[in-house]
Amino acid sequence: MELEDLVSPEGVIAHLKVTSKKQALQELSARAAALTGLSERTVFETLLERERLGSTGVGQGIAIPHGKLTELTRLYGLFARLETPIGFESVDDQPVDLVFLLLAPETAGADHLKALARISRLLRNPAVVEKLRASDDPAALFAILTEPVATHAA
């Protein structure tokens, strides 16, 4: 599974101005609603429900909020580079500045997990993360997210 199957250029936000985790999830829910045709409230409530199970702040300034919605027919991804890092109750207690939102159909068991693993692998790559933090152009961010990454180190 490639990230270009999940995220479109319209799903990349280069300067998200938020001051809290809740506000970040609200803004991303609004963007996701526009892309998916779902209600913003439905998306937001799904993300909040998932966060109650444990923070999706995975550490090193990265969060991967995600949820499953019965109304979806395919996976959707959104990426946001936050203008200012925010508290996200991350596993390492570090503020978050890169957020990758993943929404999946209720029936997408293995595909949902594969997509989460793919996103996680990409965002654990220090070179990719450095490029994402250094760019503030949506097209460049999209290119970084979707460029093929070598799976074997030389």
How do residues 95-154 score in pLDDT, each as one tens digit? 999 999 999 999 988 999 999 999 999 999 999 999 999 999 999 999 999 987 654 444
List active site positions.
Answer: 66
Number of Cβ atoms within 10 Å of the Cβ of 15: 10
pLDDT band at 3 (very low <50, low <70, confident <90, very high): confident
Q: What is the average per-residue pLDDT within 71-86?
A: 96
What is the C-alpha to C-alpha distance for residues 51 and 43, in angstroms, rounded to an integer?
12
Position 153 scores a pLDDT of 44
Structure tokens at 116: 């989460």
pTM assigned to the model: 0.93
Position 154 scores a pLDDT of 42
Q: Which of 61, 42, 45 is nearest to 100 (CA)?
A: 61
Position 150 scores a pLDDT of 53
- Among the residues of 54-137, which ranges form H helices? 109-123, 126-134
What is the C-alpha to C-alpha distance for residues 55 and 91, in angstroms, rounded to an integer?
8
Position 144 scores a pLDDT of 95
Domains of the chain: 3-146 (3.40.930.10)
Q: What is the average per-residue pLDDT within 36-64?
A: 96
Whether 70 has a pLDDT exceeding 80, the answer reads yes
Q: What is the mean pLDDT of the chain?
A: 93
Residue 43 · residue 60 · CB < 8 Å? no
